[in-house]
Amino acid sequence: MGPFMSPFNNLLCMLLGISFTVWFTLLLVFIIVPAIFGLSFGIRSLYMKMLLKVFKWATVRMERGAKEKNHLLYKPYSLNGIIAKEPTSLEEELKEIRRNGSSQDLDGSASLTTGPSPSSSEFEMSDTFYFCRRGIESIVDDEVTKRFTAEELDSWNLLTRSNYNFNHISTRLTVLWGLGVVIRYGFLLPLRLTLAITGVSLLVVFTTMIGFLPNGRVKNFLSEKVHLMCYRICVRALTAIITYHHSENKPKNGGICVANHTSPIDIIILASDGCYAMVGQIHGGLMGLIQKSMVKACPHIWFERSEVKDRHLVAKRLSDHVKDKSKLPILIFPEGTCINNTSVMMFKKGSFEIGSTVYPVAIKYDPRFGDAFWNSSKFGMVNYLLRMMSSWAIVCSVWYLPPMSRQEGEDAVQFANRVKAAIARQGGLVDLLWDGGLKRGKVKDTFKEEQQKLYSKILVGTQEDRSRS
Amino acid sequence: MGSTSSTLLKIPNVEVLMQETGFSPAHIIRLHDRFKALDKEGRGHLCPQDFGAIKELAMNPIGDRIIGAFFSPGKETVDFHTFVKILAHFRPVDKDRPKEPNSPEPINSRSNKLKFAFQLYDQDKDGKISRDELLKVLRSMLGMQVTEEQLESIADRTIQEADLDRDEAISFEEFRKSLEKVNIDHKMSIRFLR
């Protein structure tokens, strides 16, 4: 110690102080201020283009490396899967089988049929072939299990979590990957964490402050601005590059906004472009704190855990909300759970029974930059957020679709399916009949009954035809 | 995870498996991935519950029987080899395979496909489909949609048509004969991509 160290210490402190100041100023100027005003410098799109170039280079090198070593590059599942499934229905198949079988009688040889004419649809032992084949097909590759695992990619995005060809990496690629890790965990992650903390704390503080104002136009205006600003900061905290299409169809007051669900980030993405009333269960901890302060500034719909089971209560609160035209549109995810963004699963009909205008929104993530799907059975929330913040970026497109309402003679389920089909078509997702609840629950027996009904109609139905003719 | 050759090396006796079943290395790898995906607890073998978790199979009227076909009598688990061998029944018939007189019949021959279908009916494995067994299959496929009488009349008619030696049961030969004109290759085959 002594006089020698002091100036050195001072110098160190000064340097640290300066770097912090510079750091925060940059943050403020380039990220927070634009977020407040909803502007953008275009840094993120530049970043995205650069990343794409790097990924392409990495994939090419990997393929070259594989060819040199004469190995087969493991190509992940294409959307078609491992087998070619023929989409013939039960009826078509059975007709075909019978047509082949009945030609035996036309020969006149070894006539085994004594009863009904050969062209009738009676039970044949070969009928089991159809069910057997479908069963084996589903063992080899089924639609549902695919939807609940993350989508597999054709090119590599320098994240080991999505690479199956790790052996083929040359030294150059390994260096690049290492650099990527350093950048992502050393630079991007701390930056994003800072932003996230800033965004969330600003949200809590400002909404609580606004809560003290009397209800009125000023309060609503300020609440809107505060919500948008904080969500925009959060968007930058994830480096989410979002393209909004058809903003003229944005949801209006008194309506319900319906979207497909891939991850909790969906909420941030939608709420940074418009103000919505959120619906959900009250949680404890940090989440609960955020929820409680949000509701001070503008009316969101939070339910206690006990109230969630009561469908009538839920429906009543939702419809009361939409009737009040001064309140914001409700944001709902009818799938009920996170799907991996290659398809849209069955929409629960609850939100479609309320009878107000529905504004469908399709969200499609670009998987090349980072997989946004939250596999809640594999990763917890914190783990998930960490992965999100250490990915390169989250790139997605949001399409606002024209509003739809329930038509005459249409019940809630049909309306829900119509909306679902529109969302699937716009987002380029597969429209599936299956229930998102299948992620965890068992198949209801009604599905098996449907198959049995269909088959019996073919058999027994034709008996009635014959008795008529 | 790794290159194809290293994955193949991890599977024991993979050469023999490819030889017996006729699957290409790429197919074996895909099937191995599928096996691992179904084996959620990572035990290295599958049990009936793992199959039962496949939703489309649970909704199949004869799903239980198909699952049963994977498990030999008395065994509660199926390993990867057996898994692949059973699935090999559904490979399309190799049309240009030379007929060597001493080589064993390929698993995906027409005859073996028929045997697979036969065992779906013949649950007690006595080599014959009894009236009872036929009724059980019909009940699975039709559920509660038809009456007992309708089922019985269908069963009786089927046995009458196929039972040539009049022993009130359908043997494998009678089964085969009644399905002579059916395009087994098409109906009991799955097209494996790539």
Name beta bridge partners: A397. Answer: A243, A364
Nearest to B121 by CA among B144, B100, B139, B145: B139
Task: Summarize pLDDT for B15-74 with one digit per residue, the tens.
Answer: 888 888 888 887 888 888 888 888 877 788 888 888 888 878 888 888 888 988 888 888
Closest in B34, B141, B182 to A131, CB measured: B141
Task: Summarize pLDDT for A445-462 with one digit per residue, the tens.
Answer: 666 777 787 777 777 665
For residue B66, the chain A residues in CB contact (below 8 A) are 132, 135-136, 139
Closest in B55, B62, B181 to A128, CB measured: B62
DSSP string, A106-170: HTTSS----SS-TTS----TTHHHHHHHHHHHHHH--HHHHHTSPPP-SS--S-GGG-S-GGG--
ipTM of predicted complex: 0.89
Task: Summarize pLDDT for A225-240 with one digit per residue, the tens.
Answer: 888 888 888 888 888 8
For residue B78, give the DSSP letter: B
- pLDDT at position A108, please? 37
Interface of A with B in 59-118 (CB under 8 A): 66, 69, 71-75, 80-84, 86, 93, 97, 100-101, 103-104, 112-115
- pLDDT at position A361, please? 92
Nearest to A389 by CA among A163, A176, A235, A173: A235
Task: Summarize pLDDT for B125-178 with one digit per residue, the tens.
Answer: 888 888 888 888 888 888 887 888 888 888 888 888 888 888 888 888 888 888
What separation, in Å, do the N-terminal and C-terminal C-alpha atoms of chain A show?
112
Q: Where is pLDDT greater, at A24 or A261?
A: A261
Which range is least confidently modeled, A139-143, A276-280, B132-136? A139-143
A440 in B contact zone (CB under 8 Å): no
The per-residue pLDDT of chain A, averaged, comes to 74
CB contact under 8 A, A125 and B158: yes
Percent of chain A with pLDDT over 90: 2
Amino acid (1-letter code) at residue B104:
P
Amino acid (1-letter code) at residue A118:
P
- pLDDT at position A325, please? 81
Q: Which two tokens stand for residue A83?
A: 């087998």
Look-up of token digits 């009458």: B160
Task: Summarize pLDDT for A55-69 with one digit per residue, the tens.
Answer: 777 777 777 766 666
For residue B6, the chain A residues in CB contact (below 8 A) are 167
Task: Summarize pLDDT for A238-264 with one digit per residue, the tens.
Answer: 888 888 888 888 888 888 899 888 888
Amino acid (1-letter code) at residue A257:
C
How far apart are the C-alpha atoms of A295 and A290, rounded to whole Å?
Answer: 9
